[in-house]
Chain A
């Protein structure tokens, strides 16, 4: 498998992970709308398993989680540069999304818009949990998304003659 193919597969895993998180966020709304919770409990279990498996494949086994959560003193200059850039981008994205969500929550809790935005308020705690998860995984996702995965660097593989 080429590095490009590995990267495409990794991207699909990350997208599946975040899609499962998104479904987990709207699950209480779906359960409330349909009435019967048992089917949704099964969906919830499936989502938790999906998130766990894709998290392990995308972030833990690739070392990206360790990279973005390591002490700076344990990283080399390339890793520091990568994590610094990824944390910066992640911080900006999270800031915009969090401010927008908080504004929606304020609108949902007061005024005439409450009748249309009440659903945001009902999933506020689940949203907070999802944001915590995304805030911790987003830097790793940004690094993996933008960079081709390392080749088999552990071995003394063939050098490119120059």
Chain B
């Protein structure tokens, strides 16, 4: 079965928190190369792995993964602020 391309913010979240791929990989129980494949969108994680990543960053799963290309976080934050005010 051909699956859809999933987009994610793993790289930006990992960089923001100063975590190496090896550290993230150890925390979620995968090979460090798998983190690279996930970040580049070359591998779609299972639901279990997606939840592990979501729990690691302490963010809802839909903030990290999407079926649509993701906007930069700064742009999304700006739009949300404009929406609130």
Contact = CB atoms under 8 A, between A and B. Distances in A.
Interface stretch (A47-55, A124-132, A152-160): A152-160
A76 B45 CA distance: 11
Contact of B19 (A148, A156, A160): A156
B30 A76 contact: yes
Main secondary structure of the interface of A (DSSP, over half): loop
Contact of A151 (B18, B30, B36): B36
Interface string A135-162: 0000000000001101101111111111
Interface in B24-68: 29-37, 39-40, 42-43, 45-46, 49
A79 B34 CA distance: 8
Nearest to A162: B70
Contacts of B35: 153
Contact of B15 (A79, A151, A154, A156): A156
Contacts of B42: 147-148
Most buried by B among A154, A160, A162: A162
Contact of A155 (B11, B20, B71, B73): B20
Contact of B49 (A77, A147, A156, A159): A77
B72 interface: yes
Contacts of B73: 162
B21 A155 contact: yes
A32 interface: no
Interface of A: 75-79, 147-148, 150-151, 153-162
Interface of B: 7-9, 11-12, 14-15, 18-22, 29-37, 39-40, 42-43, 45-46, 49, 69-73
Given A77-B34, A154-B22, A155-B21, 18 more contacts: A76-B30, A76-B31, A77-B45, A78-B34, A78-B37, A147-B42, A148-B42, A151-B36, A153-B36, A156-B20, A157-B21, A158-B15, A159-B39, A160-B39, A161-B72, A162-B7, A162-B12, A162-B73
